[in-house]
Amino acid sequence: MTLSFFLYLLSIGMSEASSIVNMRRVTHPTVREPLAGIAHLPCVFTLQPSEPSPSSQPAHIQWTQTWIPQGGKGGPLEQTVLSAKGDMVKVNKAFAGRVRLLGYAANNLNATMEISGLRSNDTGTYHCQIVIVDDYERDIVPLVVTDRYALSFDDAKWACQENSALIATPTQLWAAFHDGYANCAAGWLSDQTVRHQSLVAMDTRNTREVFHSWVPGRLSLSSASELCVSLGGQLATVGQLYLAWTTGLDVCSPGWLSDGSVRYPITQPRQGCGGDQPGVRTVVPNTNGTTTSSGSTNATDATLLYDAYCYRGENKVQIWIPEEIKRCSYDESLCHSN
């Protein structure tokens, strides 16, 4: 055998080996799913007909995730999510109980992966790698887990600029509130604090107020009391909430009161807000962990989580989110036009 003929045979072998695996490639758009939702990351491959069947020569499937560290400092990080070969499937403990290969049991050429119970740190670029002997192919699927509160302060400033506006100052937000602006969504302001303006109702003398307040994750009774104190007030009494309701307070969100009951005021009845008549609803937890509205005045388990209805006896002041909440990142930004 001449050297040239040997090299020719070798080149044929290499060409054939390189074509064992064929990925069904598409231009994958970024998969966007909400927090706690489900994402499907596609990955399907084929083998050349002349090659052994997958059952006699199983492929090794590996899903990995890469992401940029928070703050953007340093190179990308990587971790294995899942690996499978034949009947053996191994899952990273960070994804245990949350990932599976949807069609793999019926067709081991289908490596499409499902991630359930999505978390914010599931965001990243996912790589599906198929390996048979010494040959492999890799496909890429970006995933973004969307969360209501996802913007840093710099991102919030940029979002305002993209809308031909500037991030608002606390004074501008307060002035907008006096003009009728009311929104319980927390947002960044120019002094790098996070605030919102809660819907406010006052008695006829306009010197006292009951207002609805909340934080992400909701509040136990003691936490609700502390929040109201931090806002310059205290938990409202049942009578104060009723007075606020008669002056127009309408919030379809249960909150703690000073007697340990959980109620909410409805002036405009609507679906999902406790019936077709106006009134102050009282929430009574069921044994299965859900809640219903009733006329009961019994105190509620103080460890359950709700919003808060606060009462303040002075003139209106700015409503602040507690310090521990300010350290979070939010996707809202409060902007004003140039």
Let me know whether 263 and 301 are in one domain. Answer: yes
Of 98, 113, 146, at which residue does a domain stop? 146
Contact by Cβ (8 Å): 24, 45: yes
The per-residue pLDDT for range 97-124, each reduced to its tens digit, is: 999 998 888 887 789 999 998 887 899 9
SS3 of 230, please? helix
Q: How confident is the model at residue 127 (pLDDT cuts 50, 70, 90)?
A: very high
Distance in angstroms (rounded) separating the CA atoms of residues 64 and 127: 5
Query: Do 289 and 315 share a domain, yes or no?
Result: yes
pLDDT tens per residue, range 278-306:
899 998 765 444 444 444 444 568 889 99
Residue 6 lies in a domain: no
Q: What is the span of the domain harbouring residue 264? A: 153-337
**169 and 314 part of one domain:** yes
- DSSP states of 47-71: E-TTSPPTTTSPPEEEEEEEEPPTT
Residues in the chain: 338
Mean pLDDT along residues 172-184: 67
Q: Are strands 31-34 and 135-146 parallel, antiparallel or unpaired?
A: parallel
pLDDT exceeds cutoff 60 at 332 = no
Number of domains into which the chain is organized: 2
User: Looking at residue 109, which CATH number applies to its domain?
Assistant: 2.60.40.10
pLDDT at 258: 92
C-alpha dist (Å) from residue 212 to 111, 241, 257, 298: 49, 10, 11, 21
Asked if the model's pLDDT at residue 144 lies above 60, the reply is: yes
Statement to judge: residues 315 and 181 lie in one domain: yes
Same domain as 260, residue 141: no
Closest to 245 measured CA to CA, from 205, 214, 276, 199: 199
CATH code at 192?
A: 3.10.100.10
Residue 163 lies in a domain: yes
3-class secondary structure, 99: strand
pLDDT of residue 186: 65
Kindly report which listed range (27-36, 57-66, 325-334) carries the lowest average pLDDT score: 325-334
Report how far residue 25's alpha carbon sits from residue 139's, in angstroms, rounded to the nearest whole number: 7
Q: How many Å apart are CA 85 and CA 118, to the nearest integer?
A: 25
Top pLDDT among 337 and 80 is at 80
Same domain, residue pair 65 and 161: no
In this model, does residue 25 exceed pLDDT 70?
Answer: no
In the chain, % of residues over pLDDT 70: 66
Residue 210 is assigned to a structural domain of this protein:
yes
- Whether residues 194 and 332 fall in one domain: yes
In a domain, 11, yes or no: no
User: Which pLDDT value is given to residue 84?
Assistant: 93
Q: Which of 146, 174, 197 is the last residue of a domain?
A: 146
Same structural domain, 181 and 44: no
Say if residue 91's pLDDT is above 50. Answer: yes
Task: Note the pLDDT tens digit of each residue in 247-284.
Answer: 888 888 899 999 999 999 998 888 888 888 889 999 87
**Percent over 90 (pLDDT), the chain:** 20
User: Cα–Cα distance between 24 and 3 in angstroms, integer?
Assistant: 38
Q: Is residue 14 part of a domain?
A: no
pLDDT band for position 187 (50/70/90)? confident
Same domain, 45 and 89: yes
Q: Are residues 70 and 157 both part of a single domain?
A: no
Domain end marker among 146, 180, 198: 146
Same domain (yes/no): 187, 330: yes
Give the pLDDT confidence score for residue 149 in this predicted structure: 58
User: 5 lies in a domain?
Assistant: no
Residue 224 lies in a domain: yes
Same domain, 47 and 188: no
What pLDDT is attached to residue 27?
59
| pLDDT given for residue 59 in this prediction | 84
Query: Rg for the chain (alpha carbons), in Å?
Result: 29
